[in-house]
Amino acid sequence: MHAGHVAFALQAIETAKLDMVYFLPERQPRHKTGVEHFAHRVAMLKRAARPYSRFDVLELDDVNFTPERTLAKLRRKFGLNQLVFLFGSDVVASMPEWPKVERLLQENELVIGLRDHNNRPAVERQIDTWPIEPRAVKIFASYAPDVSSGRVREALRRRSHTRGLLASVRRYSDHNWLYVSLA
């Protein structure tokens, strides 16, 4: 978790009138390398979310999330028919490839924060190519569009600083010797 996630969640609460934002870490994130064990990532998320009364962390058993399996679990947990999902604009291009993405798009609202090198017209054009029109989409410019998890992980490996690195994450990582390679 980094300052970009915090800024985006706070903006989403205001823009989409959300009561809470739940962070859902995947046990094995797709398309990411160099991530730490799930338990450490959850601990860092909880520490980063602690100062914000409208943030929480939700742990699901799924190794990877899918619209079919994950939506059912979230609906049972919260008793809601419609949920709001927060995504960075960097995810928009790959969403049509997700299995059963139609369920996610038809039944829920999406809130999309514009990331570095993305702009609203380009993201809207990508959404127009999706196989199904989403139920609702809100797009806004992120306050921290260029903060990236990859750069934060690299800074933690080097024991240096980068924009967006949260002090709570740095302390936890240093204390637990995370992102250290002995090779």
Residue 29: the pLDDT is: 83
- Asked whether residue 117 carries a pLDDT value surpassing 90, the answer given is no
- Asked whether residue 55 carries a pLDDT value surpassing 90, the answer given is yes
Residue 182: the pLDDT is: 52
Length of the chain: 183
List C-alpha distances in Å: 14 to 48, 51, 159: 19, 17, 34
The highest-level CATH class for domain 3-175 is: alpha beta
List C-alpha distances in Å: 4 to 33, 54, 77, 148: 19, 16, 27, 8
Q: Return the percentage of the chain with pLDDT > 70, whole number.
A: 98
Residue 180: the pLDDT is: 83
pLDDT-based confidence at residue 83 (cuts at 50, 70, 90): very high
Q: Is the pTM of this model over 0.75?
A: yes
Q: Is the dihedral of CA 5, 130, 29, 147 positive or negative?
A: negative
Mean of pLDDT values over 5-14? 96
Mean of pLDDT values over 94-99? 89
What's at 68, amino acid-wise? E
Mean of pLDDT values over 29-57? 91
How confident is the model over 121-168, as pLDDT tens digits?
Answer: 999 999 999 989 999 999 999 999 899 988 999 999 999 999 999 999
- Asked whether residue 50 carries a pLDDT value surpassing 60, the answer given is yes
Contact 3, 147 (CB under 8 A): yes
Residue 40: the pLDDT is: 95
What's at 24, amino acid-wise? L
| 8 class by beta-carbon count within 10 Å (0-12 exposed, 13-18 middle, 19+ buried) | buried
Mean of pLDDT values over 105-133? 93
- Asked whether residue 183 carries a pLDDT value surpassing 50, the answer given is no
Indicate the average pLDDT of the chain: 91
Q: Give the 3-state secondary structure of residue 13.
A: helix
